[in-house]
A and B are shown apart, each in its own frame.
Chain A
Amino acid sequence: MREMIRLFLVIFLFSCVSGGLLAVVRSGTQERIEYQQLKFVKGPTIKEIMEGCSNDPLSDRFKIMDGDKEISFFVGEFDGKRSVVAFESFGKGFGGDIGVIIAVNLETDEIIGIGVTTHSETPGLGSRAKSEPDLSSQFKGLSIKDPFKVTADGGKIDSISGATITSRGVCGAVVTSASIYERLKNDILKKIKA
């Protein structure tokens, strides 16, 4: 019996020390890992749509709680003013959620650009929403208050041929972004000034 307890205690202690050590390493690397994930997963898209900004949007970021969801906002500096924010939202596509990053000018409510980050659409059809600029470039310069619909639904966004559902999903993501933007605009402005 005593031998059993000894074995139990040894393994117990080992696990405690190991758990503690890992917690330390994790909290030490967490921030850097988050940054690396941003840099290699969302980074290229953010850089692309915020072309010409004079800061690093990936490190100039903040978070706002939207209900129970936390959304990251990336700030872009243009002509010396921190006037653009970019954030990600999701729309329902053909093969699952489509992640879309949208950059909006806070002064004019104008869309600077959008880009697809993650998707699981059909390669060669829906995947062109990410690989080709035909769809995403149509959003450039529009006001975020516009209704975003594809032409098949009576809107003015030309969908990618053969991928109407994907195009609809991207529009849906932009509509979601617009409602998030409207809800949180005051908080965003407060955070940017701070």
Chain B
Amino acid sequence: MAKTVVQEFTKGLWAEIPPFRLVLGLCPVLAVTKTVENGVGMGIATTFVLVCSNILISLLRNVIPKNVRIACFIVVIATFVIVVELVMQAFAYPLFLKLGIFIPLIVVNCIVLGRAEAFAAKNGVVSSFADGLGIGIGFTLSLTALSIFREVLGSGTFTIPISSVSVPVFGPSFQPFNFLVEAPGAFVCLGLMLCVMNMLGKK
């Protein structure tokens, strides 16, 4: 059953939205979503890598021999990740300092390799681009939602992306719910959001 390009794009926004539906790439999700700025930054970096590697791998899918495909995918992905790392250092140094090790770790993010192996290696360039963009934007939206939830309740602030300004959301008497900013808190948030999504999806 062939899907249209639009369907390939929109499936990443709800039906297969990572990390909720494709429960992959949880490491950065849990680690960086402490503030909204980090969440959005990580999402955008991953989207860029996802789109570029999907396009290139789909273009080269007939050149890459089957037995060394994973090695080739990793070379392609790692290249784009280092490009992102350098560009981020040059233009958003404070964000780079905050995300730190999680930028190079996009190389081993299962979502990126997963889309390359499961989709881009078998489909044309246009639908691979749509797939990468959809999944990437879905990932960014999830990270944003999760980080808003965690930051607002866990630290009582909202960090506006790019400007790095933390705005207090509640009054001065607000007692931050510290548990949410810890890693286990991220798991609980993720579980609760997945639960809500499943309830909405059930008819």
Contact = CB atoms under 8 A, between A and B. Distances in A.
B160 interface: no
Interface stretch (A3-11, A53-61, A95-103): A3-11
In this complex, the interface size class of chain B, counting residues with CB under 8 Å from chain A, is 20 to 34
B7 interface: no
Interface stretch (B18-26, B82-90, B108-116): B82-90
A25 to B, nearest CB: 5
A21 B87 CA distance: 13
Interface stretch (A36-44, A109-117, A153-161): A36-44
Nearest to A40: B93
A15 B75 contact: yes
Interface residues of A, number: 18
Given A29-B90, A40-B93, A40-B97, A11 B68 contact: yes
B64 interface: yes
A26 interface: yes
20 contacts: A6-B65, A7-B65, A7-B68, A10-B64, A10-B65, A10-B72, A11-B68, A11-B75, A14-B75, A18-B76, A18-B78, A18-B79, A22-B79, A22-B82, A25-B83, A25-B87, A26-B86, A29-B90, A33-B86, A40-B97
Interface of B: 63-65, 67-68, 71-72, 75-76, 78-79, 82-83, 86-87, 89-91, 93-94, 97
